[in-house]
Structure 1
Amino acid sequence: MPDSRQVLRTPAMAALLAAAALALTAGCESGGPTGAGPAASKKPSPTPSPAWNRSPRSIAAVGDSITRGFDACTVLADCPEVSWATGSDTQVDSLATRLLGPSAPTHSWNYAKTGARMADLPGQMTRAAAEHPGLVTVMTGANDACRDDVTAMTPVAAFRTDFVKALGELRAVSPQSQVYVASVPDLKRLWSTGRGSPLGKQIWKLGICQSMLADADDLGAGAVARREAVYDRVVAYNQVLKDVCLRDRACRYDGGAVFSYSFSGAQLSPWDWFHPSKDGQARLAELAYARVTA
């Protein structure tokens, strides 16, 4: 048999192949004689999601008092050095420290604010976007449920609108930034754990999360219903975080890891028995690192 490589090089065969190629090209461009061939009817392929970078070069944190390390070092004060997201404390071993190593102090920013609610997130995200960070961490929502009364809790629809707006602020300036979204903690579990401290209950009376923590030892029908309303609202907030994050090509929700985590007494602030202690901040850092690097 003749060598096929030699046959393909003959002038006659080359001419036939050229003609066939020309006809095939014309058919693909026109969709065949009628213009409605199989190629024309196919839907365009969806844009592939970008590969998740498990080693971002910079981190910006947005959120509330938890990310500011409130009440983790001293009473009624922020302590950002122990923040689970960007802190420098070696015992906490923050997400920034784990991911960035020695460059963490110069390549991480904490724009969270104690008392912030979801409505404050767009403004924080605008500041974070200006840094063009490789990763933005989000932890907010507890203050939307922690109000003086359950009737003052942020409506779920408003919570969604503000979260969508916040991500929009980021994407408008820094479209390539990845986002890690932590779930809202289970406030009912924190009440159940913290109420074991007589001191903690006295501090709660000063006004901490009254929708959940008021009358901590009251197990009557009204108090139980109030706490259930807060619990249900937190569950709804977390569903929003999950849904909105899924629609963003570079966003990862924690899968409810923070909500499901059972903080022990040692992992709650010894000053308010509600916010994470330094040990609690370390646990949050572990949960975030596991998700970001998965």
Structure 2
Amino acid sequence: MPNPSRRSRAALAVLAAAVLGVAGCDAVGGDSPGPNGTQAQKTKPSPKPTPLWDSSPDSIAAVGDSITRGFDACSVLADCPEVSWATGDSAEVDSLAVRLLGKAKAAERSWNYAVTGARMADLPGQMAQAATRKPGLVAVMVGANDACRDSTAAMTSVADFRSDFEDALSTLRKGAPKAQVFVASVPNLKRLWSEGRTNPMGKQVWKLGICPSMLGDADAVDAAATARRDTVQKRVEDYNEVLEEVCAKDRRCRFDGGAVYEYRFGTGQLSQWDWFHPSVNGQARLAEIAYRTVTGKKA
């Protein structure tokens, strides 16, 4: 006669096997709930981190000087913001704003706070204005006027240039902490002299007082004149080094890597009124450089 206790144990074993078998099937399919706790954390796919640089911002604010205002590009001694490399709507330029936002959206979602004659010391105030818009991207081009002074002694010191740029970025971060920043390098002023001096009209216009530290006495090539121009050029290079170093400390800032400074422009890219500011064609070239930097995979 079978032992009752043995039969009970056998029945329990069969029942347990059946329960475990069902549980095993439900664990990989069916309508049962999925894993939880630590196991759930292991099996749930991790969300992709939000990139710090977005190559498709939803709005753009521009700050800087006369270059960003399109000064002398359309008519003499006048701003022409419609051809601005940063925010203009001219089809000839195809500005950064138009390239990134489209023409219709650029008209509504781009703002130009640059001021003709501005220097780096003016940038914090412009940044404060830009921050009120909470822009997706702020485009910066400034520094030429800091080097273009009546004399080399009057140029903005490198220390002050750095302090003002740091202040400008800090001001932006207080009002628009997530705004991205594109920073263009200061143009090559010595190339400006070497290209523009080939035009007799350009040299006459320069005598009116355009960037005397570099363009004064355009035909002079003696030791003093050469030393003066070299001093200005070195200051521009120092400014660009500051722009790169300060920008590198901000995770949402991109410097153009010196692309504007290194661009080998000719007289076709210079205003035919002052042979100093960019022409419409020059503005288009600046827009191209900015767009490549903003949409590139790396800074």
Of 159, 173, 176, the match for 1:174: 176
Of 209, 218, 230, the match for 1:216: 218
Secondary structure of residue in 2 paired with 1:165: helix
Q: Which residue is equivalent to 1:119?
A: 121
What code does the residue aligned with 1:91 have? E
Q: TM-score, normalised by structure 1?
A: 0.84
Q: Which residue is equivalent to 1:86?
A: 87
Q: Which residue is equivalent to 1:72?
A: 73
Q: Which residue is equivalent to 1:132?
A: 134
Q: Which residue is equivalent to 1:263?
A: 265
**CA offset at residue 57 of structure 1?**
0.6
User: Please, which runs of 5 or more residues in structure 2 have no aligned partner?
Assistant: 1-16, 24-37, 39-48
Contact preservation (8 Å) 2:52, 2:251 = no
Deviation per CA, 1:113-153, whole angstroms, max 9, x where unpaired? 00000000000000000000000000000000000000000
- Superposed, which structure 2 residues align to 1:157-236 within 5 Å? 157-236=159-238
Contact preservation (8 Å) 2:213, 2:228 = yes
Is the radius of gyration larger for structure 1 or structure 2? 2
Q: Which residue is equivalent to 1:54?
A: 55
User: Please, which runs of 5 or more residues in structure 1 have no aligned partner?
Assistant: 10-20, 22-47
**CA offset at residue 263 of structure 1?**
1.0
What code does the residue aligned with 1:159 have? F
Contact preservation (8 Å) 1:49, 1:250 = no
Q: Which residue is equivalent to 1:43?
A: none
The ranges of structure 1 where at least 4 consecutive aligned residues each deviate by more than 6 angstroms after the TM superposition are none
Secondary structure of residue in 2 paired with 1:62: strand
Cα distance in 2 for residues equivalent to 1:131 and 1:197: 43
**CA offset at residue 264 of structure 1?**
1.0
What code does the residue aligned with 1:129 have? A
Q: Which residue is equivalent to 2:158?
A: 156
Contact preservation (8 Å) 1:136, 1:180 = yes
Secondary structure of residue in 1 paired with 2:126: helix
What code does the residue aligned with 2:101 have? L
Q: Which residue is equivalent to 2:12?
A: none
Cα distance in 2 for residues equivalent to 1:191 and 1:251: 31
What code does the residue aligned with 1:99 have? L
Corresponding pairs, count:
254
What code does the residue aligned with 2:59 have? S
Contact preservation (8 Å) 1:50, 1:250 = no
What code does the residue aligned with 1:152 have? A
**CA offset at residue 49 of structure 1?**
8.8
**CA offset at residue 237 of structure 1?**
0.2
Give the fraction of aligned pairs with identical amino acids, expressed as a percent. Answer: 67
Contact preservation (8 Å) 1:49, 1:249 = no
**Cα distance change of structure 1 residues 49 and 144 upon mapping to structure 2, 3 Å threshold:** farther
Cα distance in 1 for residues equivalent to 2:284 and 2:111: 18
Secondary structure of residue in 1 paired with 2:182: strand
Deviation per CA, 1:80-103, whole angstroms, max 9, x where unpaired? 000000001001000000001020
What code does the residue aligned with 2:63 have? V
What code does the residue aligned with 2:134 have? H
What code does the residue aligned with 1:169 have? T
Deviation per CA, 1:224-252, whole angstroms, max 9, x where unpaired? 00000000000000000000000001000
Secondary structure of residue in 1 paired with 2:221: coil
